[in-house]
Chain A
Amino acid sequence: MTDDAVIEVDEVSKFFGGIVALSEVSCTVGPGITALLGPNGAGKSTLLRIMCGLTPPSRGQVRILGRVPRRDLDVTRLIGLVPQQEALFDPLTALQFVELAGRLQKVDQPRPAAEAALHLVELDPGDGRPVRTYSKGMRQRVKVAQALVHSPQVVMLDEPLEGLDPRQRLRMIALFRRLADEGRTVLVSSHVLDEVEKLGSRVLVIAEGRLAATGDFHQIRELMDDRPHRLRLGADKPRALAAGLLDAAAVVGAWVQGPETVIVDTVDVAAFRHAVAGVARQRDVRLHEVVALDDDLDSVFRYLVGRR
């Protein structure tokens, strides 16, 4: 474990009845922004909940600045959590909600602290409407404000960019950057690759309850791009095309799958696209489509999990 580990996750597994939500996850998170990337159902929320102590791990242990959450109530002073769910105390105004959070966190001056937190997320502290009337994006920002009101050292946010419009997303990401620049540890979960790219940060990739990869975003991107890709080709002479492609550059496998269809595995899509035109010309095949079959994020995650 490195010296600057703020969050230490040690061999954590979590079972819900027969469901394995997390399986032997170990990682450390230090100051700055870290993204927790994974598809829906990967175990992101479960991991964040365990880190906060909202639920105990079935096996293994989590430490926040050396303390065990759930066992040690003082951990709650150190962390601010933005939970995934939208629910807030509906009858309260945003200011009342955030001020209540400040009081419960024993902030010295809860009212000014709440106003400042609302300003950070660009909400009006003077808004007299109850949060019940708020849009998804506004609720999301109230959730962020209540997590920051006590100026915690560790901020954990479960899909905080959901429900925000593109402009708000950029402002929110800028806010996370500022928090990180102040030396805080900011852990942001997301299932959207592009968001994580904008966070421009260290990434923990989680899929099917396992830690699939860790590193900075570019390493992860390269890993993803290096994986074999599967493409579907439509052509009038599939046999001739498949035979010709077997010798082509970057092709791992090629086979006929229907009267006009060839499936190809390649390690380099760009090189393949270049090669396929030549093969088609050479064998006098008319090619009418090239479709990537696994460019969705889920298949990327599946590949990363399978690699381990």
Chain B
Amino acid sequence: MSDIYRLILRTQLNRGRAAALLAIAAVGMLLAFAVRVTVSASDRPEAAYSLVDGFGLGLLVPTTALVFASTALGDPAEDRTLVYLWLRPIPRWQITVASLAASLSIAVPFAIVPTVIMALLADGGIDLVGASLGAAAAASLAYCSIFLGFGLVVRRALVWGLTYLLIWEGFVARSGTTATRLSVLGYARTLFADLAGQAPPTLASSTSVAIAAPFVIGAAAIALTTWLLCRIDVA
């Protein structure tokens, strides 16, 4: 399994992708720094919270997951190298789990750490730093597991994934309707608010549900991706 993990890590991470996501992360950190120097000390926790919530959880974490998780298995399927992993005596779930582990390993430096740094730079208090870590990690787990199978079966997954993120996660999920309960972001924001000691978003779930949700989503997505891998037509 570690062989597949290393291979996926190596094939999915290229300069273009790394540069694009580091640029997004850099913008987030610049904004956080701007909060620190322009916002008064009394308003800073609130402003820092909004920035991490909107930019870190709302943009950086999901796009990082999309770019890397959807290509983890999507690239080999598209460029027809999947056969060199698939036609081996390896249980399919190991391919899924190794790919997820690789995607998460990339999410740490590209999304989770920058989100935490944003909280630090914006001077939002120690609770916000911990909350950023917890929420970014939970959201990364959920998003990565979803985009793994998504990339395997959807052609041009990046385009469709962005559409999904913008319309569903970015717009519908913030509407405070039942859709909030059907979005990763809804749970991540609830968890974030709880950990940061802020007022929960509208129609939030309980803390325990918000903690469990990413793991449930992750487990379900791993099962689904493994099922897809068993059924796929390998070129």
> Are the C-beta atoms of B3 and A55 separated by less than 8 Å?
no
Among listed A84-92, A206-214, A284-292, interface-contacting one: A84-92
> Are the C-beta atoms of B84 and A101 separated by less than 8 Å?
yes
* B residues less than 8 Å from A52 (CB atoms): 87
Q: How distant is B149 from chain A, measured CB to nearest CB, in Å?
A: 19
> Are the C-beta atoms of B80 and A87 separated by less than 8 Å?
yes
> Are the C-beta atoms of A54 and B88 separated by less than 8 Å?
no
Cα(A77)–Cα(B89), bound, Å: 6
> Are the C-beta atoms of B234 and A100 separated by less than 8 Å?
no
> Are the C-beta atoms of B81 and A76 separated by less than 8 Å?
no
Number of interface residues of A (CB under 8 A): 26
Interface hits, A32-50 → B, CB 8 Å: 49
Whether A103 contacts B3 in the complex (CB less than 8 A), given A73-B91, A89-B84, comes out as yes
Interface hits, A212-227 → B, CB 8 Å: none
User: What residue in chain B is nearest A100 (Cβ atoms)?
Assistant: B3
> Are the C-beta atoms of A76 and B7 separated by less than 8 Å?
no
Interchain CB contact (< 8 A) of B234 among A49, A92, A103: A49
Interface hits, B1-41 → A, CB 8 Å: 3-4, 7, 10-11
Q: How distant is B23 from chain A, measured CB to nearest CB, in Å?
A: 23
Interchain CB contact (< 8 A) of A87 among B4, B7, B79, B87: B79
Cα(A100)–Cα(B9), bound, Å: 14
Whether A104 contacts B91 in the complex (CB less than 8 A), given A85-B235, A87-B79, comes out as no
User: What residue in chain A is nearest B234 (Cβ atoms)?
Assistant: A54
User: What residue in chain A is nearest B83 (Cβ atoms)?
Assistant: A83
A144 within 8 A of B: no
Interchain CB contact (< 8 A) of B3 among A73, A79, A88, A104: A104
> Are the C-beta atoms of B84 and A76 separated by less than 8 Å?
no
* B residues less than 8 Å from A54 (CB atoms): 83, 86-87, 233-235
A124 within 8 A of B: no
B90 within 8 A of A: yes
* A residues less than 8 Å from B84 (CB atoms): 88-89, 100-101, 104, 146
B159 within 8 A of A: no
Cα(A100)–Cα(B81), bound, Å: 13
> Are the C-beta atoms of A89 and B7 separated by less than 8 Å?
yes
| Binary A-proximity of B55-85 (CB < 8 A = 1, otherwise 0) | 0000000000000000000000001110111
Cα(A66)–Cα(B88), bound, Å: 18
* B residues less than 8 Å from A81 (CB atoms): 83, 87
* A residues less than 8 Å from B11 (CB atoms): 89-91
Interchain CB contact (< 8 A) of A55 among B4, B90, B234: B234
Interface hits, A57-99 → B, CB 8 Å: 73-74, 76-77, 79, 81, 83, 85, 87-92
* A residues less than 8 Å from B87 (CB atoms): 52-54, 76, 79, 81
Q: How distant is A129 from chain B, measured CB to nearest CB, in Å?
A: 16
Cα(A55)–Cα(B86), bound, Å: 11
* A residues less than 8 Å from B86 (CB atoms): 54
> Are the C-beta atoms of B88 and A105 separated by less than 8 Å?
yes
Cα(A259)–Cα(B232), bound, Å: 59
Q: How distant is A146 from chain B, measured CB to nearest CB, in Å?
A: 7
* B residues less than 8 Å from A73 (CB atoms): 89-91
Listed by A's residue number, 26 A-B pairs whose Cβ atoms lie within 8 Å are A49-B234, A49-B235, A52-B87, A54-B86, A54-B233, A54-B235, A73-B89, A73-B91, A81-B83, A81-B87, A83-B80, A85-B235, A87-B81, A89-B7, A89-B81, A91-B10, A92-B7, A92-B10, A100-B7, A100-B84, A103-B3, A104-B85, A104-B89, A104-B90, A105-B88, A105-B89
Top 3 A-B pairs, shortest CB-CB distance: A104-B88, A54-B234, A85-B80
Known contacts A54-B233, A55-B233; 17 additional CB pairs below 8 A are A53-B87, A77-B89, A81-B83, A83-B80, A85-B80, A85-B235, A87-B79, A88-B81, A89-B7, A89-B10, A90-B11, A100-B3, A100-B7, A100-B84, A104-B3, A105-B88, A105-B89
Residue ranges of A at the interface with B (Cβ–Cβ < 8 Å) = 49, 52-55, 73-74, 76-77, 79, 81, 83, 85, 87-92, 100-101, 103-106, 146
